[in-house]
Chain A
Amino acid sequence: MTTTLKPRNNRAWLFVLPVICSVAFTAVLPLLMVINFSVQDIFGSNRVFVGAEWFIDVIEDPDIRSSFWRSIAFSVQVLLIQIPLGILLGLGMPKKGVLASVALVVMALPLLIPHNVVGTIWQIFGRGDIGLGGHVITRTLGFDYNYAQEPADAWLTVLVMDTWHWAPLVALLVYAGLQSIPDPYYRAASIDGAKRLAVFRHIELPRLQGVLTIALLLRFMDSFMVYTEPFVLTGGGPGTTTNFLSISLQKIAVGQFDLGRGGAFSLLYFFFIQMFCFLFFQLMRRRL
C-alpha cells in the first residue's frame, strides 16, 4: 500500500465488510474447525480433549520430519533455479510488436493449465515408451532414465516439471518490472559507456527488487505447498522420494481420516508458511 497521506475515515470499514464476511466464511471458520480437531482425540462420536499431544506427536514423527526437510530442499532448489532463469527469460523477452504479444501468450500458457493436467502432460512426456522426452533421453541419448522407479530421476523430473510450470511466472514478473524502467535511464547508461552487465547491476536490478520480492514470495509459498503435480506424476514415490509435506498431510488427513493428527499437522504447516511470509513481507515493505 502506498503510504501517502490518505484521509482518515473509519466508515471505510463498511467497504471492507463484504471481504471480511467472505474471509470469515472461507478461512476463519475452517481454521477454527482445524484448531478444534487438533486438540481432541476424535473417534466416531467420542471426543477427548488431549491438549498439545497431537502437536508433539507431529513434531516428533520421523516421517513428517523427513517430508519437511524434503519440501525445504525442494523449495530451495526451485528458487535457485527458477529465479535466475526467470530473470534471464524476462530480459530476453521481445519488447515490442506482434512478437512480444505472442511471446507473452506462449510464456503464460503453462500457468493456465490445470495442475493435474500439468502432471499428466509430464507423466506422458517422460515415459520411455510413448513419451517424447523419455524417448529422447533413453533411446536417442541412451541414458538410463525411469522416473517411476529411479529416485533421482523422479526428483529431477518433478523439478523440471515445476520449472516448466512456474519459471514463466518469474519471467513475466521480471518482464513487467523491466517495462517500467524509463528510457532515459538506458540512454544515460549508454552515454556513460556502461557494459551490459553494469546496466543490469546498477539500473535494472535495483528497479526489479519489488517484482523479484513478489516472485520469491510466490515461488516459495507455492513450491512449499505443491501437491497436485507431483501427486499425479509420481504419487510421492518411488518410495518416499517425492513425498512432500502436502502429500503427507493429505495422506494423514484424507487418506487415514486422522482428524487430530491432521489438524495439528495443518496448523504447524500453516504457521510455518505464515511466519516465513511475515518476515518476507516486512522486508518487502521496507524496500518498496
Chain B
Amino acid sequence: MSGLSVVSAGRHFARSGSSRSFTSTLVGAGRRVGMTGYFILLLLPIYWMVMMSLQTNSDILGEFRWIPESLTLDNYRTILTDDSWYSGYINSIKYTTINVVLSLAVSLPAAYAFSRFSFVGDNHLFFWLLTNRMAPPAVFLLPVFQLYQNIGLFDTPWAVALAHMLFNVPLAVWILEGFMSGVPRSIDETAAIDGYSFGRFFVRIFLPLIKSGVGVAAFFCFMFSWVELLFARTLTSVHAKPIAATMTRTVSASGLDWGVLTAAGSLTLIPGALVIWFVRKYIARGFALGRV
C-alpha cells in the first residue's frame, strides 16, 4: 500500500513538474513578448519626436513616412545659435542646480534628526512636511507670484529654485530619512566614543555611508524641478525663462515650426537620460523612497 502511494505520488510529482515547466516556458515567452511590445510602444512617440526634429518642415508636412528620407541638423543649429533658445536651457539648468543644492542642504540635517531622535511632535511634523508634496502647484501660483515680485526675486533662477523647494524638500527629507534609517545607530555612537566631533563624523563617516541615498534624493529633486512648468513659467518673464516655457510660447506665436519645436523637445530629454544612467543602480530603491 505504502509503496503504491509513493509511486503514485512520484508520478504525480513528475507530471505536475513537466506541465509546470511547459506553462512556465509559455509564461516566459509571453512575458518577453509583452515587455518588448510595451517598450516599443513606450519608445515610439519619442522616436517620432526625434525623427521630426531631424527633418525640414516641408518634409514633415509632406508625404507620410515611417523613416525619413533625408536627415538634417538645421533645427538643432537654429536652437544652438539663437540666444533666445539656448539661454532657455541655461536658465533651466541654473534653477534646477540651485534647487538640488538648497533642497539637499536643508534636508540632510532634518532627515538625520528624524532618523536618529525622537522629539516633541516629530510624527506630526513629518506628516505635515509630506502634505506639502500634496499641494497642487496651481493653488500656490497666485500668492507665489505676488510674493516673489514683492521681494524682488521675480524673473531670477532663485525664484523658481525656491518655489520648487515646496515639493522637493519634503521628498528629499523622506528619501534621505529612509536611507539613513538603514545605517545602524551604533556607528554614530562608536564615532562619538572615538572622539569625532559631530561635524566631522557627519561629513567624513556618515555621508559616505548614505551616498547612494544622497544621489537618489538629488536625482528626484533634479527630476521634479526639471519637469515642472507651472511655477517656472509663472515666476519668470524674460531673463530666467526656462526652455519648457520658451517652447510653449513659440507654439502660440509662430504656430507651425514643427522642426524647431521637436528639436527643442528632444534636447530636453538629454539631461534626464544622462542623470538616470548615473543613478541606475539605485533608481529602483530610490523610487521606493529608500523604504524596501
- Interface on A for B, CB 8 Å cutoff? 1-2, 6-13, 15-16, 18-23, 25-27, 29-31, 33-34, 37, 88-89, 91-94, 101, 103-117, 120-122, 124-125, 129-133, 135, 139, 164, 168-169, 172-173, 175-177, 179-180, 193, 195-196, 210-211, 214, 221, 224-225, 227-228, 232, 246, 249-250, 253-254, 259, 262-263, 266-267, 269-270, 273-274, 277-278, 281, 288
Residue of B nearest to A265 (CB): B139
For window 4-59 of B, CB contacts with A under 8 Å fall at: 13, 16, 20, 23-24, 27, 31, 34-35, 38-39, 41-49, 52
In Å, the complex CA distance between A274 and B130 comes to 10
Residues of B within 8 A of A30 (CB): 140, 143-144, 147
B61 within 8 A of A: yes
Q: Does the CB pair B146–A33 fall under 8 Å?
A: yes
- Interface majority SS (helix, strand, loop, mixed), chain A: helix
B169 within 8 A of A: yes
Residues of B within 8 A of A253 (CB): 138, 141-142
Residues of A within 8 A of B226 (CB): 112, 114
CB contacts between A and B, total, < 8 Å? 299
B276 within 8 A of A: yes
Contact of B16 among A108, A193, A277, A288 (CB under 8 A): A193
Residue of B nearest to A120 (CB): B265
Q: Does the CB pair A121–B46 fall under 8 Å?
A: yes
- Interface majority SS (helix, strand, loop, mixed), chain B: helix
Q: Does the CB pair B269–A109 fall under 8 Å?
A: yes
Residues of A within 8 A of B52 (CB): 124, 130
Q: Does the CB pair B229–A228 fall under 8 Å?
A: yes
Contact of A221 among B133, B165, B247 (CB under 8 A): B133
Q: List 19 A-B contacts (CB under 8 A).
A: A12-B117, A15-B109, A16-B125, A26-B165, A93-B35, A105-B280, A114-B229, A114-B243, A125-B48, A133-B44, A133-B45, A139-B64, A180-B292, A224-B136, A227-B138, A228-B229, A253-B142, A270-B139, A273-B134
Residue of B nearest to A34 (CB): B143
Residue of A nearest to B291 (CB): A210
Residue of B nearest to A25 (CB): B162
A115/B109 contact (C-beta < 8 A), A23-B169, A196-B24, A262-B142 known: no
Q: Does the CB pair A115–B228 fall under 8 Å?
A: yes
A176/B287 contact (C-beta < 8 A), A105-B273, A105-B276, A124-B52 known: yes
Contact of A225 among B34, B39, B136, B146 (CB under 8 A): B136
In Å, the complex CA distance between A30 and B27 comes to 53
B163 within 8 A of A: yes
Contact of B140 among A34, A175, A195 (CB under 8 A): A34
Residue of A nearest to B133 (CB): A221
Q: Does the CB pair B287–A246 fall under 8 Å?
A: no
Residues of A within 8 A of B119 (CB): 8-13
Q: A109-B276, A113-B269 are in contact. List 5 more A-B contacts (CB 8 A).
A: A8-B117, A131-B48, A132-B47, A177-B292, A210-B291
Q: Which of A113, A131, A232, A288 has the most CB of B within 10 A?
A: A113
In Å, the complex CA distance between A43 and B227 comes to 35
Contact of B276 among A108, A225, A228, A254 (CB under 8 A): A108
Q: Does the CB pair B48–A19 fall under 8 Å?
A: no
